[in-house]
Structure 1
């Protein structure tokens, strides 16, 4: 590998540890109240941080109150693109981000900036095997059916919609999972899977499992509108 390719394979990213997993292509609204992440938001808006991009990594346990070491977070995260930022009168921000590209966290810098900075290597999918496109299309049909069943049980009829028909199978698993109240460990497993067909199969299994729980227990998640109105809070780092 040439030096140029080695440089392209790694990057330095500001990090935002959260008690959630961001998936590529999925929107994540955040309420920014802590001073260090207010500064990060300002640096993103003013493009002190290039490309308005930062990394989201999931904290492994709620016991961790201050992320200081690699073992405090999951090793695979997702770069987030800042889409919108609204500054509130008291200096807080409401922002909307979108998952962009996965990475593996190699190193953690706690000193060079007010917020965490990570050295990351980009994590891409493995190529599809021979005949994989046809298999992917079949899996996509099954996964979409599982998604419809879950959403019909979980959300109001006007509270969700299926991903568009032109979404590639490699990205479909993320968008289907975004509508499902999955445990963090399941979302992290989807994020870490680099075989597109395996990821789509896993999404189908998870959606089917959750739909089964809803059907058997007659329990439903909070209304979809409430989930959207109360975005995930930043960690207390």
Structure 2
């Protein structure tokens, strides 16, 4: 089993969503350089739950998302990369962090769509877009979603104005219905907290 290159971040990456990154740390510049030699360059993204990534000593989450490298550009001492989330994985074991973080992983089963979930998805989308319109999120409430229902559900989770721990809760979902239900609950909770502050 080969260890997957890993990029621990202070944010959650969902499947089917873009990930723009500024890469400047030497170890991640090394990682990107190696990825560019691969036919299908992918790396894992996990949430840092505690501590700071720079300098190590961080506590990393056990569920993450594969990211496929789609573009790389450079300016002085910084690489600008864009990747897209693909499938989820669980971390079985962290390997040595030299020359960059790596881990042995196992795939997490993909969510499955059922047309009976369409009303729940419609409700979730209406709530997320309504709360987005009233928040100072980087996402526009009119953001277009994929025509593929599973991709759209993950993208909806990605644009919801939630904190990273709530987003991590969503990432761990085992069913599409469960993801939609939690997305509704967490977004309504965020909305009510916003009204109180």
Q: Smaller-chain TM-score range? A: 0.7 to 0.9
2:64 to 77, 80, 86: 77
Q: Which has the larger Rg?
A: 1
Of 100, 103, 110 in structure 2, the residue corresponding to residue 125 of structure 1 is 110
Aligned counterpart in structure 1 of residue 90 of structure 2, from 82, 101, 104: 104
Mapping for residues 99-178 of structure 1, pairs under 5 Å: 99-110=85-96, 113-125=98-110, 132-134=114-116, 136-155=117-136, 159-164=140-145, 166-168=147-149, 170-178=150-158
Q: Which has the higher strand share?
A: 2
Counterpart position of 2:21: 30
Choose from 39, 46, 51 the match for 1:57.
46
Q: Deviations over 1:89-109 (max 9, x none)?
A: 33x201111111100001111
Matched, 1:208 2:188: yes
| Aligned residues: CA RMSD | 2.5
Q: What residue ranges of structure 1 are gaps of 5+ in the alignment?
A: 1-9, 218-237
Classify the secondary structure of the residue corresponding to 1:73.
strand
Structure 2 alignment gaps of length 5 or more: none
RCO higher in structure (CA 8 A, sep ≥6):
1
Count of residue pairs brought into register by the alignment: 196
The answer as to 2:184 corresponding to 1:195 is no
Deviation at 1:167, TM superposition (A): 3.2
The normalised TM-score by structure 1 is: 0.73
CA distance in 1, matches of 2:174, 2:29: 33
Report the CA distance between 1:66 and its aligned residue: 4.7
Q: Are the equivalent residues in 2 in contact too, given 1:173–1:203 (CA < 8 A)?
A: no
CA–CA separation in structure 1 for the residues paired with 2:160 and 2:49: 20
Normalising to structure 2: TM-score of the pair?
0.87
